[in-house]
Chains A and B, each alone.
Chain A
């Protein structure tokens, strides 16, 4: 038998077929893993401290204006039957509230992450896509998902349709500094509070000029006081589907308790912050929350590199980091006992 014949069935002798691929097998020992564990712990503690300190330095002012308490100035507005109710809440700062100050409104017990709620919109309608111009039905025949906020009783399409849009938050806030018992308005800047992608891509106005024409034969959402093209009477460019407040509202919250950015204080002398003194917050109280046990609040906060105040993350980092360190000590003891049992 010749040699070639004898090797006809020989498998390839390669590293792969023979499972001898070069490989790194980390040789781990107590000398590596315990210090490694300590390092993880220490790093976490470090991050935790940084986060905690940063968070502590953030100034936050929260004002609950739901009006549950009878002594609250907003108590009178609690009843939904009262229309166009305004209430004023006064507060004072004894030191500078460092700027830029962000103004948020917050809701609690409000399930914006409810699935059917989240689905209740027409993404195509809200893009106002140019290609749909020739086909005016984009506004006229909203997507089925918008039900029951799709068409009104007269079978006219609701624009923007759906429950999210319909339930848009419509309280308004004005901030005044009380200087010598006269109110000085603090300018609130509503520009650029929405994501760039939302403003430029996800939501577009129909390119009809004037905008109002695009909404012919449609009705405004039932809950809204004004149609979409008149959302911001002060700034014609901030209307329709690209109204900043609308965009912020349409970005659904993660959890039932949430805040949303309302305004920033970035202009004039208040750009550096709110100086010490007395302030009056004038609230246009429109949004009903009491019936579902919700709360409304206004939050003034300045921000750091990590955003708003968030003690939780820093604390958890500290806890986990400490846990790692403690565990590494336990490990050391266990290891010592195991390794040198005779010396015990």
Chain B
């Protein structure tokens, strides 16, 4: 039926979600590489085959099971979606089939509230003009309804007769673009009955949308399955891996190279030994394979590869996965990160990024819905210069007005203005009535009747708040039809004929609506940003000055303001205006936009100012505290918002992103600073010797950058500027980006990633944040009011912004510490165990004789040592959650990667070298000239290994849960028990070749010399760890423990409820200056808004000393000597 001459055959395949599985291909192939059968060849079999196979099989089994579980889950959810039902036209009637059986060209029927199964061309619907409404929450996160309309030809032809018959006869051909990812564009045409009809986005129902308010719609499938626009636009998700992950992989590759190199050297040694020594010893020379030392050395190379195999920490990878999963579960389980109100817990959707949560250096946050609740409240208004309502009283304390006279009142109006109600009800003041008529008419809200209540579906929450406020005060917007609007004004129904809608765009920053009122008068109602509306007023508008004053005071209390104006339009103007408008509809796109712009401008002039509204977008609970805490933890916070600069700056002040005395740097000034050769120093000359330049460093710390979208685009484009911008931002307190598009948000992330080494975290709640969330190292979605897109694409989802502090400072910090120490320790213990073989090689003719019993090697990593260190990685808490939150400075080592960097790895390796030398050479000294044999030496060294590892574990673990203690004892005991078991006679009799250590431990464990040697070697090998441990305790002093034990009240400066007080004390100049400077936030002239004295709520802090890491072989311990002291004054209060 449909022929698409561009596109190839489309196959039908529904994909459940578009997130590809996290591929870990390299690791697995890496394991495969290790799987060498050569280990079983006798000539080079330095170990029995199972010695290396047991850990390998374990790894592969666990990994396989995990992948199987994921695949099954995916398959299940895939088939769930595949088997959804849909009605398809089959010859003459509709029948129900599963989604997976739908094909391109099918005509499908969609009922109300059904999801659209594929990208459809809307043919007709049950509504007038074949309109149909869809909800696009899953695509763009907006919950309002959008309407789509069928072509008039299909509407006319297909609805005239019974639908089945006419639809079955429909034989149109659609020519359109190949499947693509452009969600908001569709080009094509329908050829039917010899005529071509142009198709555009309005005619297409996209997969992922849901049909609303429409009984039935019929559509023709154009793109199916993976070709649908939504799946196309999901794109390929980059596999995210963490710094630790990458460094670890490098390290493992390094170890692998080391193994090969060492084996080579040992093989050379073996060749030399064969040539120089063993050829004189008949007992040995006869054993030289083929009598050729070179060939023998070649075989020895492979033998050493096998013997040194345990160096490669294979089990680390499963442990790593298990730890990640558990840490993620801890996040999911945390009741303190669950939002009671919505019963919405935190979710770790990506289980491999946990430790990176402890390393975040840049936090990029959306504003609306992330910092704020995106729950807008109509708080104040100014009508005819008079202000109603008082926003300085918080919402909770605002008295409810008695609105019982209004059956439509929702009871949620948080404004106290009885005098306004009086005025309205008495209809004493026409300008007040006109104001609310404007609110009730000028919008694009869609009303919905459900269960008798009136619900408003709006594309922007602002509109919903305004229309809702008008409704509560008696101006009820009741219904919208194609060309008329019904308003119940204090119970009186009035119908307005809708003549034109002059839509809102971000350039115009206003919208207007042209209506004919029931009396026949033509009126234009306009609402928009204050700047735009105020410049379009008719001359001599009354109350202008008082309204401006009101606007300023609204802005200072952080309210979003809009101006409302009206114009009585003369009939003649409308006639000629509408004529031009009709003409414009047929023009080419570019030309038309310009004409429309002028046309709209002409209509929206000569306005009469009615007043201004003030809407409060309340900050989410705990946002200022969280931001203050995160800033103290050293995070650079960037707020990226589509909002206007003024609002963003105000929110910045209220959310503690900006301090009251923070200087804003933006616009031209910023540009100059960036253009100058070195932004760090030449800034002093760029401005006329500002005071802040005197002490650049401290001044910078008190500066925030304000960047607008267009400027940002400029900086990103310009080569070199990006790096400077990031450099400058690193010195500044915070950055605000206003008026940015979703694409720009991602650009900012890319910019930061490119020019700094720090980990970026993006947090947002809406579809416009998806790009940013996907681009950042870590994406966090706020499961909030807007649709699920952000959460779908995020690595972590939270219900509220404030949970971020727990996610980062507690879970992130713990994960980072646990995982880094775990990795370092794990590698340390496998290496110092395996390196002994090399030292032994020097005394056995480099013959690849293993130092250990086969069973010990097989058990060492899997049984004796892995569980305790794994438990460490599960449970370790160096400080409690409360202390972490109380001392955000403890977070700082993470972003600087203090615990896991080449230096700490080198220190660890040095310690490993030392302990492996000790582990070998102390027993060596004891066994010199002694009658104790090789097997006894093997048991002694094994025992020393166990002593050393367990001693180091004792030192490493600071948080002893019962599990830690019990499993350490079990693992320790296991060594002795398992040794006895594998070395007992019965097993030897079964397989002499596998259990040839029979009786060794029985004899060795009875020999005090073996115990004393193992004890000495073990303790001496652990001595560096012990030294570092003790020095840490000494240098950190008793203060560190204050962090553990403090249980007093939280420091006042973090928890104070300063919001309201702040608003009064904030230097009043800032906000107004910002809002009055056009487009840019920078003060137009004059000095910085310097605050003469420190804010009372921000007492001078003692400078936080750089956290000094001291090097420790088993890892690096952070000494935190001053944190406790710093806290003391605060606690003393």
Residues of A within 8 A of B (CB): 5-13, 17-19, 21-30, 33-34, 37, 40, 44, 47, 51, 104, 106, 108, 110-120, 123-124, 127, 129, 144-145, 148-149, 163-164, 166-167, 195-198, 201-202, 223, 251-261, 288, 291-293, 305-308, 310, 312-313, 316-317, 320, 323, 327, 331, 334-335, 338-339
Contact = CB atoms under 8 A, between A and B. Distances in A.
Given A123-B992, A307-B1007, 15 more contacts: A8-B343, A17-B330, A23-B960, A33-B1029, A44-B1016, A47-B1012, A104-B931, A117-B283, A117-B284, A124-B993, A201-B989, A202-B999, A251-B933, A254-B930, A323-B1023
Given A113-B844, A127-B992, A198-B999, A9 B933 contact: no
Nearest to A198: B999
B875 interface: yes
Given A253-B934, A257-B929, A261-B931, A334 B1034 contact: yes
A275 to B, nearest CB: 25
Contact of B1002 (A23, A197, A256, A260): A197
B844 A24 contact: no
Contacts of B278: 111, 114
Contacts of B35: none
B335 A18 contact: yes
Contacts of B843: 113, 255-256
Q: Which of B280, B988, B1037 has the most CB of A within 10 A?
A: B280
A108 B929 CA distance: 8
Interface string B916-930: 000000101111111
A7 B924 contact: no
A7 B813 CA distance: 28
Contacts of B1034: 30, 33-34, 331, 334-335, 338
B960 A26 contact: yes
B1093 to A, nearest CB: 32
Contacts of A7: 343
Given A21-B962, A257-B929, A114 B844 contact: yes
Return the 10 tightest CB-CB contacts between A and B, nearest first.
A197-B999, A167-B283, A17-B333, A254-B937, A123-B992, A115-B847, A115-B849, A292-B280, A11-B333, A312-B925
Contact of B998 (A144, A201, A253): A201
B631 interface: no
Interface in B830-868: 843-845, 847-850
Given A167-B283, A254-B930, A312-B928, A111 B988 contact: no
A119 B854 CA distance: 14
Given A21-B875, A23-B875, A320-B1019, A145 B42 contact: yes
Given A10-B335, A33-B1033, A320 B934 contact: no
A99 to B, nearest CB: 18
Contacts of B931: 104, 258-261, 307-308
Contacts of B989: 127, 129, 201
Contacts of A120: 287
A115 B274 CA distance: 13
Given A114-B287, A166-B283, A260-B931, A195 B1009 contact: no
A12 B333 contact: yes
Contacts of B330: 17, 19
B574 interface: no
Nearest to A327: B1027
Contact of A113 (B277, B849, B1020): B849
B235 interface: no
B303 interface: yes
B332 interface: yes
Contacts of A51: 1012
Nearest to B876: A23
Nearest to A109: B277
B359 interface: no
B1117 to A, nearest CB: 12
Interface in B992-1032: 992-993, 996, 998-999, 1002-1003, 1007-1009, 1012-1013, 1016, 1019-1020, 1023, 1026-1027, 1029-1031
Contacts of B333: 11-12, 17-18
B1068 interface: no
Contacts of B992: 123-124, 127, 202
Given A124-B993, A163-B283, A115 B343 contact: no
Q: Which of A23, A33, A197 has the most CB of B within 10 A?
A: A23
Contacts of B959: 23-25
A220 to B, nearest CB: 16
Nearest to A51: B1012
A254 B928 CA distance: 8
23 contacts: A6-B343, A8-B343, A9-B338, A18-B336, A19-B881, A23-B960, A25-B877, A29-B1041, A30-B1033, A37-B1026, A111-B844, A113-B847, A124-B993, A195-B999, A202-B999, A259-B929, A292-B280, A307-B1007, A310-B1009, A313-B926, A331-B1030, A331-B1031, A334-B1035
B281 A110 contact: yes
Contact of A254 (B340, B847, B927, B1027): B927
B1054 to A, nearest CB: 22
Nearest to A163: B283
A175 B999 CA distance: 32
Contacts of B1012: 47, 51, 306, 313, 317
Contacts of B845: 111, 114
A10 B338 CA distance: 7
Interface string B299-341: 0000100000000000000000000000001101111101010
B345 A10 contact: yes
Nearest to A200: B985
A335 B1121 CA distance: 13
Nearest to A199: B999
B156 interface: no
B287 A307 contact: no
Interface in B881-929: 881, 922, 924-929
B963 interface: yes
B980 interface: no
A254 B934 contact: yes
B958 interface: yes
Nearest to B289: A116
Contacts of B280: 291-293
Contacts of A112: 934
A305 to B, nearest CB: 6
Nearest to B341: A6
B46 interface: yes
A23 B962 CA distance: 7
Contacts of A108: 929
Contacts of B1031: 331, 334
B1110 interface: no
Contacts of B1086: none
Nearest to B959: A23
Nearest to A12: B333
B936 interface: yes
Contacts of B343: 5-10
Contacts of A19: 330, 334, 814, 875, 877, 881
Given A29-B1038, A47-B1012, A307-B1007, A11 B345 contact: yes
Contacts of A338: 1034-1035, 1037
Contact of A116 (B287, B850, B1002): B287
Contacts of A313: 925-926, 1009, 1012-1013, 1016
Contacts of A163: 283-284, 286-287
B282 interface: yes
Given A202-B988, A306-B1012, A123 B1030 contact: no
B849 A114 contact: yes
Given A201-B989, A202-B998, A26 B958 contact: yes
Contacts of A335: 1034
Contacts of B936: 254
Given A9-B343, A11-B334, A292 B849 contact: no
